[in-house]
C-alpha cells in the first residue's frame, strides 16, 4: 500500500526531512525519546499493575509521560510537516507537564507519595525530562527553518 505507512497514516512527505533524523543530532534525539518512551512505559505499567493504590496520580502521570514520549518519538522519526506538528505538540505538552508536575511535586510533596518521571523537574532522571522538550523544540524550529529555505 504505497498510500499508507506502517501505522496506517499517509506516508511522510518526499523531502529529506526524514533523513535529517536518520543521522547526527536528530538521530540522537529520536533515540533518547525512544528510550524514555520504553522506560516510562515499562515503569508505569508495573506501577499501575502492582502498586496503583499507593500513588495513583503519580503512576497515571508516568503513563501520560510515556504516551507523550511515544508521540514525540514517532513525530520526530517520521519527519515532514505532519511529523513535525506531532512532535511539536508532544514536546509542548511534555514541557508543560515537566514544569507543572515538577512545581507541584516540590510545593506539595504529599500529593506525590511516589515519584513520576516529571517529579522535581525530572530530578530522578538527571533532569533529562526538563532538557529534552527544550532540545526537541529547538530541533523542530531548526527543521522548520531548513524546510522553509528548501521552499
Instruction: Report the C-alpha gap between 101 and 98 in whole angstroms.
Output: 5
Rg, C-alpha atoms of the chain: 17
pTM for this one?
0.84
SS3 117: coil
Give the mean pLDDT of 31-41: 96
Return the closest-CA partner of residue 87 out of 24, 32, 149, 150: 32
pLDDT tens-digit series, residues 49-106: 999 999 999 999 999 999 999 999 999 999 899 999 999 999 999 999 999 999 999 9
Grid cell in block for residue 121: 523537574
The answer to whether 32 touches 122, Cβ cutoff 8 Å, is no
* pLDDT greater than 70 at residue 22: no
* pLDDT greater than 60 at residue 18: no
pLDDT band of 1, cuts 50, 70, 90 = very low
Amino acid at each position: 500500500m504505497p498510500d499508507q505507512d506502517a501505522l496506517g497514516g499517509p506516508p511522510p512527505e518526499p523531502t529529506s526531512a526524514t533523513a535529517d533524523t536518520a543521522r547526527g543530532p536528530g538521530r540522537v534525539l529520536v533515540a533518547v525519546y525512544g528510550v524514555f518512551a520504553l522506560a516510562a512505559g515499562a515503569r508505569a505499567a508495573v506501577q499501575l499493575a502492582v502498586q496503583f493504590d499507593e500513588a495513583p496520580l503519580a503512576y497515571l502521570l508516568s503513563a501520560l509521560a510515556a504516551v507523550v514520549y511515544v508521540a514525540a518519538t514517532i513525530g520526530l522519526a517520521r519527519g515532514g510537516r505532519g511529523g513535525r506538528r506531532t512532535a511539536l505538540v508532544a514536546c509542548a505538552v511534555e514541557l508543560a507537564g515537566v514544569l507543572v508536575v515538577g512545581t507541584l511535586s516540590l510545593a506539595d510533596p504529599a500529593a506525590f507519595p511516589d515519584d513520576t518521571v516529571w517529579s522535581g523537574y525530572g530530578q530522578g532522571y538527571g533532569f533529562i525530562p526538563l532538557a529534552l522538550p527544550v532540545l526537541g523544540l529547538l530541533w523542530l524550529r531548526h527543521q522548520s527553518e531548513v524546510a522553509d529555505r528548501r521552499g
